[in-house]
Structure 1
Amino acid sequence: MTSSIPVVELVEAGFAYEDGPAVLSGVDFAVAEGRAIALLGRNGSGKTTLLGLLSGGLRCGGGALLLDGTRVTYDRKGLTRLRSTVQLVVQDPDDQLFAASVAQDVSFGPMNLGLPEEEVRLRVREALEALDIVALEDRPTHLLSYGQRKRAAIAGAVAMRPRVLIMDEPTAGLDPHGQERLLETLHRLREAGTTVVMATHDVDLALRWADEAAVLSPAGLRTGPVAELLSDDALLDAARLRRPWATAVTRLLRSHSLLGVDAEAPRTPEDLEAWVGPEVPVPRRS
């Protein structure tokens, strides 16, 4: 049974960088067990800052960070507890990879937990298998492709067996095939019980992938079901986000009485192709 207490939660959180204005103020954001959450906002809206607060890399200037309902302390004990539960994967894998080989890099976190050697090896193997990079185990990290470096960075976080995996623009820089492989990986992680929070400005990806959305705009942070939030034109305008392809298609179909109000709306071109049949060409976002 899923607990009603969020795994991790920001309550009235605020943050400002030194000698700068407030980036976030009065933010409430709860991450419930078993969800897929897309954090959306334009560049500079505070997405990366919010992820830093959730993962403990940044300390709330106001408000609090809660883990399982208990306030997080920023001493060694408190941060170890947090990082055993919540792991952040940054946008640029080169900011996260530093060891000579993939296996060494993936093993770093579990080793720092002081786990027995056999347990570390088990976790490394599980993470490499989850990311489908077992063949790269002994590969020097500097010889990996960009997509491989992304997967290796995620494997390092997965090896910590977090309940919550937080990712900053994980599909940035990946070609379409790389994006699909990453989404398949995230699907497997979710099936295994990992809660995933993904920061992105790609509204089409968010609508396709997420259960819930959290949208940052000058008015603050608004959360709710992803389809509901991404069909709110006023919110998208305030956040300077474009309309999702699927939302525009759904409105068109319903305006011509081709799709019932209660019928499930297509989220991808593939969904629409399955609905209309292969004979009808489907428009795609350029």
Structure 2
Amino acid sequence: MSELVALRGASFAYEDGPTVLDGLDFEIREGRALALLGRNGSGKTTLMRLLSGGLRPHRGELTVDGRAVSYDRAGLTRLRTTVQLVVQDPDDQLFAASVAQDVSFGPLNLGLSDAEVRTRVAEALAALDITGLADRPTHLLSYGQRKRTAIAGAVAMRPRVLILDEPTAGLDPDGQERLLVTLDELRARGTTVVMATHDVDLALRWADDAALLTPSGAHTGPAPTTLARADLLRQAGLRLPWGVAVTRLLRARGLLADTAPGPRSPEELAALGGDPVLSSET
């Protein structure tokens, strides 16, 4: 998969504050679901804002398809039609009177025709399964509905990369599962999804790749191997994922072949019950 968006040698510090990111190299590869993890204060939010153009690195550069981003009006418009960020609290992103009006805000600002805006809004509402809420006042939505509306507003921009900050936070288990199904459908349509999360079990289950932000930088690789690195997890202030611990136990007891992938979820563990990779001696 090709590199789609990348930061090279990026450094950033807030005014009168310490350096948050220093000489960071970070890339988003097209078509790969990426989980971004790190302790509070590790720079996840800053990184996401740099990737989406909300902040500009003090040193280094941001590239899209290998081309450096310019921070003039044309450059930022190009970037924001490529990368969209949805913040953790939907109330920080919703402001229009109704769901449809809120979702239409971004496309309208692109100067699109009314017909094209209506098409994009309809597609985004359908993608997030909230078509029936189009005329609903945003202040009457449930928390989960507000989350979906905020994501729909980003989807209506038809970005190639969708970055979500803790999208499952505050959702009940059913709401989390429905959102994950929606994200899988967006991926199937060609959107590259990046999810910032503290949930290592979710990251292992959902992501192709994981990026751990530590004091020594960003460490990115396939989720099963990266999230098995106890040294990096410790630096990132995270625990070992459930699936990794179970896989190690199964292999230690000869119940799972060394070359077989381990379970990423309880459902995958249950499915292993009749799998030939399990030892026939048990």
Which band: TM-score by shorter chain?
Answer: over 0.9
Q: Find the residue that maps to 1:79 and give its secondary structure.
A: helix
Match of residue 283 from structure 1: none
Q: Distance in 1 between matches of 2:236 and 2:82?
A: 30
Match of residue 66 from structure 2: 69
Match of residue 110 from structure 1: 107
Match of residue 175 from structure 2: 178
RMSD: 0.8
1:18-49 deviation line (CA, Å, top 9, x unaligned)? 00110001111111111100000011111010
Shift of the alpha carbon at 1:276? 2.2
Question: 121, 125, 135: which one pairs with 1:124?
Answer: 121
What amino acid maps onto 2:116 in structure 1?
E
Match of residue 20 from structure 1: 17
Q: Find the residue that maps to 2:202 and give its secondary structure.
A: helix
Normalised by the length of structure 2, the TM-score is 0.96
Question: 247, 252, 275: which one pairs with 2:249?
Answer: 252
Question: 143, 147, 151: which one pairs with 2:144?
Answer: 147
Match of residue 206 from structure 1: 203
Match of residue 187 from structure 1: 184
Q: Find the residue that maps to 2:258 and give its secondary structure.
A: coil
4+ residue runs over 4 A deviation: none
Matches within 5 A, 1:1-286: 4=2, 6-276=3-273
1:113-154 deviation line (CA, Å, top 9, x unaligned)? 000111100000000000000010000000000000000000
What amino acid maps onto 2:203 in structure 1?
A
What amino acid maps onto 1:84 in structure 2?
T
Normalised by the length of structure 1, the TM-score is 0.94
Q: Find the residue that maps to 2:105 and give its secondary structure.
A: helix
What amino acid maps onto 1:30 in structure 2?
E
What amino acid maps onto 1:80 in structure 2?
T
Match of residue 284 from structure 1: none
Q: Find the residue that maps to 1:30 and give its secondary structure.
A: strand
Q: Distance in 1 between matches of 2:91 and 2:235?
A: 33
Q: Distance in 1 between matches of 2:23 and 2:202?
A: 28
Q: Distance in 1 between matches of 2:89 and 2:37?
A: 18
What amino acid maps onto 2:93 in structure 1?
Q
What amino acid maps onto 2:250 in structure 1?
L
1:185-219 deviation line (CA, Å, top 9, x unaligned)? 00000000000011111100000000001100111
Question: 5+ residue gaps in structure 2?
Answer: 275-282
Q: Percent identity?
A: 72
Q: Find the residue that maps to 1:7 and give its secondary structure.
A: strand
Shift of the alpha carbon at 1:238? 1.1
Q: Distance in 2 between matches of 1:102 and 1:164?
A: 22
Q: Distance in 2 between matches of 1:140 and 1:52?
A: 28
What amino acid maps onto 1:254 in structure 2?
R
Q: Distance in 2 between matches of 1:93 and 1:136?
A: 16
Shift of the alpha carbon at 1:264? 1.8
Q: Distance in 2 between matches of 1:276 and 1:16?
A: 51
Q: Find the residue that maps to 1:162 and give its secondary structure.
A: coil
Q: Distance in 1 between matches of 2:182 and 2:23?
A: 34
Q: Find the residue that maps to 1:242 and give its secondary structure.
A: coil
1:38-95 deviation line (CA, Å, top 9, x unaligned)? 0000111110100000000011011000011111111111100000110000000000
What amino acid maps onto 1:148 in structure 2?
Q
Q: Distance in 1 between matches of 2:5 and 2:62?
A: 7
